[in-house]
Amino acid sequence: MAAVISEGEISLEFLDALFARAFFKTSIDSDGDLYVSEGLDFPIWLSVSPNQKVIRYSTYVTRDAESSTAFTHIEANTLNREILLARFYAHEERPDVVSADYYMTFKDGAIDSQIIAVARRFSGAFVAGVRGLDR
């Protein structure tokens, strides 16, 4: 059964335990973000901003810089029109990278199953978008 989590309870450690209970493989990386490496369509990172009361879901993919064309802002903008739940962006300083993120508020609390569901949907949306770039 879904549980409402108060905003004061939401932390990186809480998210780590939540994903572990749902049988995802996680670790806290050197930047202090939660890395969900197994259990989703594509690995993602989560970070918590207690002041802004948001959980940030993020991920990225790289192309082989030697043999592939660069990701462009035009491609990212096209994905932003076509794919829901993920904000895509290209990097001028790293043309071989395209990233995406999504911010979920937890002001006044969050539902534990919703945190997991957003992770699944965000990861799936990212995969769908990146596959669309290769067409």
pLDDT of amino acid 135: 62
Q: pTM for this structure?
A: 0.93
Residue 66 has pLDDT above 70, yes or no: no
pLDDT number for residue 33: 97
Mean pLDDT of the chain: 93
Q: Spelled out in words, what is the top-level CATH class assigned to the domain 4-133?
A: alpha beta
Spans of all domains in the chain: 4-133
Q: Looking at beta carbons, which pairs linking 81-89 to residues 24 or more positions away fall under 8 Å? A: 82/129, 82/132, 83/125, 83/128, 83/129, 83/132, 84/125, 85/118, 85/121, 85/122, 85/125, 86/122, 86/125, 86/126, 86/129, 88/129
The answer to whether residue 9 scores a pLDDT higher than 70 is yes
Q: Which of 132 and 51 is assigned the larger pLDDT?
A: 51
**Is 65 a residue whose pLDDT tops 70?**
no
